[in-house]
């Protein structure tokens, strides 16, 4: 199935991304779609299939809204490994799931799609979304193994040159307009935060020209205004067209990102950072950093800045090799 899967991915990559992007700008949607598919080639796909090991014959994937490319890598690996895949698309915007299904079925690959809540008969379920959503799936399908991928969030850390960190960090913030578990909710730093802001400003301006911010839900408004107001009192706030940067004390860290708002928190050292994020150890995902020796309890993935939302293939997700634990394989730690 490797060749057919790669053909399907190539067709998906050639699709018009804007209708699939769940409100992202046309430029950002295209960049994100290409980045999500770029890691796949005959060698990486074969390696991912080997890492997964035996997979169930029928897999359902409950796809969340937000990061529109989420199901691509899971479907590609599952189908290449010989599974039949059913996508439960997000009812709010099923366009990507439908296009992905069309590209795979054109290659005679077994992918189906629906935005109905009910699922067909399957042997395992991959469930993404809120903890409440996944709890409901568990309750609805008590006889089917459910692999849970609930709410998590990621962090960035800068400890070196602000000029070197700014470009990659801005890219992490701009991809998907900061949506998803791998986007940096905040940036912690041991360097002068004002120097980091100064380096970030021209790059955020450039990214807004190349890949503009897309539609913004009005529900973000109150929290957006609260953070800017707090920063103006306790630190600094820099506001541009389609982006903003705040500097506030680390005790005001909030584990939730806002679209293209960079929240910078100065810390004394790595131990200070660990104390700040300790209450959320069980919800941490990725650390993007210019210090590859840094470790944070609960972090499953450490990567260079600029790669937070662009993981390699094969890889682990939340510490588990993709698909490897659906029927008792080694899921990683």
State which of 110, 130, 151 marks the end of a domain: 151
Question: What pLDDT does residue 255 have?
Answer: 96
For residue 98, the enclosing domain spans 2-151
Which residue in this structure is represented by tokens 């682990």?
316
- Give the DSSP H or E segment for 186: strand 184-189
Establish if 49 belongs to a structural domain: yes
Pick from 73, 98, 78: nearest CA to 9 = 73
Instruction: Give pLDDT, residue 330.
Output: 35
Beta-bridge partners for 297 = none
Instruction: Report if residue 313 sits inside a domain.
Output: no
Whether residue 181 is found in the same domain as residue 116: no
Pair 293, 159: CB distance under 8 Å: no
Residue 83 lies in a domain: yes
Same domain, yes or no, for 91 and 180? no
Tell me, yes or no, whether 50 and 170 share the same domain: no
Q: Could you tell me if 159 and 240 lie in one domain?
A: yes
User: Residue 333 has what pLDDT?
Assistant: 27
Which H or E element spans position 262? strand 261-266
Do 9 and 132 sit in the same domain of this protein?
yes
Residue partners of 54: CB distance under 8 A and separation at least 6: 327, 329
- What secondary structure does DSSP assign to 3-56, as a single string? HHHHHHHHHHHTS-SGGGSTT--HHHHHHHHHHHHTT-SHHHHHHHHHHH-S--
Q: Where are the alpha helices (DSSP H) in 127-266?
A: 131-140, 162-174, 193-210, 221-234
Per the structure, the count of domains in the chain is 2
Give yes or no: residues 15 and 147 share one domain: yes
Same structural domain for residues 165 and 287? yes
- 175 and 49 both lie in a single domain: no
Question: How far is Cα 326 from Cα 134, in angstroms, rounded to an integer?
Answer: 16
The domain boundary, picked from 151, 172, 190, lies at 151
- Rounded distance between C-alpha atoms, residue 322 and residue 146, angstroms: 14
pLDDT the model gives residue 150: 86
Q: What is the DSSP letter of 64?
A: P
Q: Is residue 324 part of a domain?
A: no
- Helix (H/G/I), strand (E/B), else coil: 187: strand
Do both 101 and 175 map to the same domain?
Answer: no
Sole residue written with tokens 């067209």: 241
Residue 323 to residues 76, 153, 264, 320, Cα–Cα distance (Å): 11, 21, 35, 8
Residue 216 belongs to domain with CATH number: 3.40.309.10
pLDDT in single tens digits along all 333 residues of the chain: 899 999 999 999 999 999 999 999 999 999 999 999 999 999 999 999 999 999 999 999 999 999 999 999 999 999 999 999 999 999 999 999 999 999 999 999 999 999 998 999 999 999 998 888 899 998 999 999 999 888 899 999 999 999 999 999 999 999 999 999 999 999 999 999 999 999 999 999 999 999 999 999 999 999 999 999 999 999 999 999 999 999 999 999 999 999 999 999 999 999 999 999 999 999 999 999 999 999 999 998 999 999 999 999 999 888 888 998 787 433 332
> What is the pLDDT at residue 306?
97
Q: Could you tell me if residue 328 is inside a domain?
A: no
Query: Would you say residue 270 lies in a domain?
Result: yes
Per DSSP, 288 falls in state: E
Domain boundary among 100, 121, 151: 151
Whether residues 125 and 184 fall in one domain? no
Query: Would residue 256 count as lying in a domain?
Result: yes
Position 198 scores a pLDDT of 98
pTM of the model: 0.93
CATH number of the domain that 144 lies in? Answer: 3.40.605.10
- Tell me, yes or no, whether 140 lies in a domain: yes
Do 185 and 283 fall within a single domain?
Answer: yes
Answer yes or no: do 9 and 52 share one domain. Answer: yes
What pLDDT sits at residue 329? 38
């Amino acid at each position: 199935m490797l060749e057919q899967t790669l053909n399907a991915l190539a067709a998906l990559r050639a699709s018009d991304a804007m209708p699939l992007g769940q409100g992202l700008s046309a430029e950002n949607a295209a960049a994100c779609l290409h980045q999500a598919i770029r890691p796949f080639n005959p060698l990486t796909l074969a390696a991912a299939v080997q890492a997964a090991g035996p997979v169930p014959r029928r897999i359902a994937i409950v796809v969340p809204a937000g990061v529109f490319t989420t199901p691509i890598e899971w479907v590609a690996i599952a189908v290449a490994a010989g599974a039949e895949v059913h996508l439960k698309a997000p009812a709010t915007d099923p366009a990507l799931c439908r296009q992905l299904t069309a590209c795979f079925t054109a290659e005679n690959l077994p992918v189906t799609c629906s935005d109905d809540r009910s699922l067909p008969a399957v042997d395992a379920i991959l469930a993404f979304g809120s903890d409440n959503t996944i709890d409901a799936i568990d309750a609805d399908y008590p006889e089917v193994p459910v692999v849970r991928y609930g709410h998590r969030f990621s962090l960035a850390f800068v400890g070196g040159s602000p000029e070197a960190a700014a470009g990659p960090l801005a890219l992490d913030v701009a991809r998907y307009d900061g949506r998803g578990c791998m986007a940096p909710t905040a940036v912690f730093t041991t360097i002068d935060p004002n120097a980091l802001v100064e380096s970030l400003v021209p790059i955020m301006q450039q990214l807004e020209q190349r890949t503009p911010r897309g539609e913004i839900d009005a529900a973000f408004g109150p929290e957006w205004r609260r953070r800017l107001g707090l920063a103006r009192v306790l630190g600094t706030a820099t506001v541009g067209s389609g982006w903003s940067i705040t500097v506030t004390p680390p005790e005001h860290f909030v584990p939730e990102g806002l679209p293209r708002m960079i929240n910078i928190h100065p810390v004394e050292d790595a131990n200070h950072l660990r104390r700040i994020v300790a209450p959320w150890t069980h919800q941490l995902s990725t650390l993007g950093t210019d210090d590859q020796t840094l470790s944070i309890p609960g972090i499953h993935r450490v990567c260079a800045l600029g790669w937070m939302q662009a993981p390699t293939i094969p890889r682990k997700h939340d510490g588990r090799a993709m698909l490897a634990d659906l029927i008792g394989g080694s899921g990683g730690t």
